[in-house]
């Protein structure tokens, strides 16, 4: 079965935080998300892996998703 996409509202409820907290994580680029048009979407498996990896506390992406220094320079 294909995993469904979730909205900011659904993720906020799932994690028990305010939507503003989700948007703050998106600005800091620490939350695994995908932008489709003007909407942010999420995969439950990525969100749960992010929490399990302890990244929710530290505000970092899991190691496999973290940008390299070279990618950060290109992005700037």
C-alpha to C-alpha distance for 14 and 12, rounded to whole angstroms: 5
Q: Whole-model pTM? A: 0.66
DSSP code for 41:
E
Average of per-residue pLDDT across 42-69: 69
Task: Tell me the per-residue pLDDT of 1-55, one tens digit each, with 9 for 90 and over.
Answer: 788 899 999 999 999 999 998 998 888 878 899 999 999 999 999 998 888 887 7
Map out the domains of the chain as residue ranges: 5-75
Beta bridge partners of residue 36, listed in sequence order: 39
């Amino acid at each position: 079965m294909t995993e469904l996409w979730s909205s900011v509202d659904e993720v906020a409820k799932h994690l028990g935080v305010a939507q503003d907290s989700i948007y703050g994580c998106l600005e800091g680029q620490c939350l695994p998300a995908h932008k489709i048009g003007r909407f942010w979407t999420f995969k439950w498996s990525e969100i749960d892996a992010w929490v399990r990896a302890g990244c929710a506390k530290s505000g970092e992406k899991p190691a496999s998703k973290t940008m390299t220094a070279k990618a950060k320079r290109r992005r700037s």
